[in-house]
Every structure is written in C-alpha cells, then in structure tokens.
C-alpha cells in the first residue's frame, strides 16, 4: 500500500510539471485584419490540437507522442501552412519540411522538400526512430516514407483556393512571401510546431511547414534544421520556432536558447528574451517560438505583430493570437 501511495503521489507531482505548447506561425497578424469568423476558426483549431496533445500527457503518454499528435492535427487543418494547408512553390507544387527531436537522448529526425506525404512530422519521426540518419530530403525521403507505409495523398488534397490566390499574387510580384505576411486580407497562415514535457521528465519538440509562397531553387528554411528551428534536451528545454527562416538559421535560435541555459545558467524566460528580443531583432529577424523547460515552465515570445499560440498544463490554459 505504501508503494502504491508513493507512486500515486509521484504521478500527481510530475503531472503538475507536465505541459505542452503549440504554435501556428508568427508575423503580421492584426486584429484589425481578422474577421470574427476567422478568429473563431483559428482558436478552435488551436484548441483541438492542444487538447489532443495534452490528453496524451494527462494519461501518462510520452512527450514525443504528444507533440506528434498535436502537429498532425494542425497538418490536417487547411488553416496552417503545413501538411494540407501548405503553400505553393514557384512551380505550383507543395514542398514540405518537418523535424522532431527527443530530449532524453537528443535523437532527432528531419525531412525536407517532400511531396504528397500527408503528415511530414510522422515521416520525420520515422527517420529518427527507424533509420540510421537524421536528415532526408526529396525523392529519397519519399522512398523511405513508402517503405514505412506512411500515408500519401494526391496533389489535389493539398490544393486550396486561398493558397492558389497567395501564389498568384507572389508570381505577379515576382517575389517570395512568408506565409503569414502575404498581402491578402485576413489570410495569415503559418508554420506549426509543438513542445512538451511528460510525467517522466522527458522533453520533445517538433516543427512542420510548407515553407515560403513562390519559393524557388529548393529553398529550405529553419523548420527542418535541428538547432535552428527545433531543439530538445532534457538538461535544458524544448524549442520550436516560426518566422523568417534564413535569419533563424543564421542565429541558430533553438540551440542558442538551450546553450544560454546550460552554459550561462539563464532561466528559460531570460534566454528566450535574449534571443528573440535582442539577438534576432538586431538583424531584423521577425518571428517567435514556443519553449518549455525541464521544470515545466513555458514561454511563448515573439517580436512580430502576432503569433498563433497556445499552452496547457495542470494549472492553466492559454490560447492567443495577438500581442
């Protein structure tokens, strides 16, 4: 009886630390350009993904399972620039990127420039767990996805009218657009990500995106790059980023936050502030991130006008869009 009671108390103590945070992109997201209907749709989509991930943690599941489940929910939603809602590249196709990382053993998996895979985050996890590699791209990654019996969808599954409109605007302007900054009224979409801490003290992070509208030359942003857009280490924290990928790559944002915590002893809040509000802004790097540390503290900083974001733990729940 003593053993059972001790295990029960331990479970509830650890559950108080467990938590999850998700994001759906950061950028020029203004209340003045958002309709009430669209705001409700985003809030509902964020809540659905948040609850799906947190329910796994609540019943003792792993952080990796929680973030994959939450990200798949957003990949299946056309509101976000990932999976089904991915933007068009210059050739009128959808090229997707994703990455995932486990803080327990710093194992990681990533994929880029993949097409027709319904859930890129699941392919990234398969790379992490079922291959000897970390990063696969293009045709090779798709071949591996078929070997893993992952779900594929035809091009038509990813085709949406509002993404086509974004693409036509970008083509006309001969420019590439960040998905959340496309000059189309109330159409602000974004990269998705999730971070979590489970009751066993393990951290995990994942990120998934369709990249930039009208991108050329096989462009790859920070989302699939371990250390830039995604990072997790049980010693410190788990991070998922969203924003102008080139500048996040140059700043090695996700790993930099972990380093500031591990080597300089900064808190999660202070490390996030230093990187997002000082280091990134110094080079005009727009965006934000979600983060959770080994004690369950959660931060969701951004230096843009808004960021689709949500967090949940035993004691609180937050779903927000604007500053």
Three-state SS at 40: helix
Alpha carbon of 265 to those of 32, 71, 240, 269: distances in Å?
40, 30, 21, 12
| Mean pLDDT within 306-312 | 97
- The Cα–Cα gap between 285 and 247 comes to 6
How long a stretch of residues is the chain?
323
Tokens standing for 130?
């079922």
pLDDT tens profile 135-180? 999 999 999 999 999 999 999 999 876 665 665 565 556 555 555 5
Indicate whether 76 belongs to any domain: yes
Residue 189 confidence (pLDDT): 44
Q: Would you place residue 20 in the very low, low, confident or very high pLDDT band (cuts 50, 70, 90)?
A: very high
Residue 28 confidence (pLDDT): 74
Lowest pLDDT segment from 76-80, 109-113, 160-164: 160-164
Helix 138-147 vs helix 120-130: angle between axes, to the nearest 10 degrees? 80
| Mean pLDDT within 284-304 | 97
Indicate whether 169 belongs to any domain: yes
Q: Would you place residue 29 in the very low, low, confident or very high pLDDT band (cuts 50, 70, 90)?
A: confident
% of the chain surpassing 90 pLDDT: 79
Indicate whether 248 belongs to any domain: no
Given a cut of 50, is residue 184 above it in pLDDT?
no
Indicate whether 261 belongs to any domain: no
| Residues forming the active site | 191
Tokens standing for 251?
């700043």
The string of DSSP codes covering 173-188 is: HT--B-GGG-SSTT--
Please state the domain count of the chain.
1
Given a cut of 90, is residue 10 above it in pLDDT?
no
Indicate whether 294 belongs to any domain: no
Given a cut of 50, is residue 1 above it in pLDDT?
no
% of the chain surpassing 70 pLDDT: 87
pLDDT tens profile 211-248? 988 888 999 999 999 999 999 999 999 999 999 999 99
Indicate whether 278 belongs to any domain: no
Range of the domain at 200: 12-229+304-322
Residue 117 pairs in a beta bridge with 152
Alpha carbon of 46 to those of 135, 152, 286, 323: distances in Å?
28, 24, 22, 17
Residue 141 confidence (pLDDT): 98
Q: Is the dihedral of CA 81, 21, 262, 132 positive or negative?
A: negative
Residue 188 confidence (pLDDT): 45
Indicate whether 282 belongs to any domain: no
pLDDT higher for 29 or 135? 135
Indicate whether 284 belongs to any domain: no
| Mean pLDDT within 84-104 | 94
Residue 3 confidence (pLDDT): 55
Q: Would you place residue 48 in the very low, low, confident or very high pLDDT band (cuts 50, 70, 90)?
A: very high
């Amino acid at each position: 009886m003593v053993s059972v009671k001790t295990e029960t108390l331990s479970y509830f103590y650890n559950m108080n630390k467990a938590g999850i945070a998700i994001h759906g992109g950061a950028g020029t997201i203004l209340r003045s350009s958002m309709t009430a209907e669209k705001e409700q749709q985003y809030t509902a989509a964020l809540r659905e993904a948040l609850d799906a991930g947190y329910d796994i943690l609540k019943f003792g599941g792993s952080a990796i399972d929680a973030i994959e489940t939450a990200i798949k929910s957003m990949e299946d939603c056309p509101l976000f620039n990932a999976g089904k809602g991915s933007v068009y590249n210059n050739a009128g196709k959808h090229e997707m990127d994703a990455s995932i990382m486990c803080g327990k053993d710093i194992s990681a998996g990533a994929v880029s420039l993949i097409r027709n895979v319904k859930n890129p985050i699941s392919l990234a996890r398969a790379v992490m767990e079922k291959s000897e590699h970390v990063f696969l791209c293009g045709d090779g990654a798709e071949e591996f996805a078929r070997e893993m019996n992952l779900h594929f969808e035809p091009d038509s599954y990813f085709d949406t009218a509002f993404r086509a409109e974004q693409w036509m605007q970008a083509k006309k302007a001969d420019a590439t657009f960040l998905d959340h900054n496309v000059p189309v009224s109330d159409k602000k979409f974004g990269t998705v990500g999730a971070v979590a801490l489970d009751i066993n003290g393990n951290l995990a992070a994942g990120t998934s995106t369709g990249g930039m509208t009208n991108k050329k030359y096989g462009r790859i942003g920070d989302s699939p790059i371990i250390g830039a857009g995604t990072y997790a280490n049980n010693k410190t924290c788990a991070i998922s980023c969203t924003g102008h990928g080139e500048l996040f790559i140059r700043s090695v944002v996700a790993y930099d936050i972990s380093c500031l915590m591990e080597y300089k002893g900064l808190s999660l809040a202070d490390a996030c502030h230093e990187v997002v509000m000082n280091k990134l802004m110094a080079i005009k790097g727009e965006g934000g991130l979600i983060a959770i540390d080994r004690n369950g503290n959660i931060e969701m900083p951004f230096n843009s006008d808004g960021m689709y974001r949500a967090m949940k733990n035993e004691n609180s729940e937050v779903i927000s869009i604007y500053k």
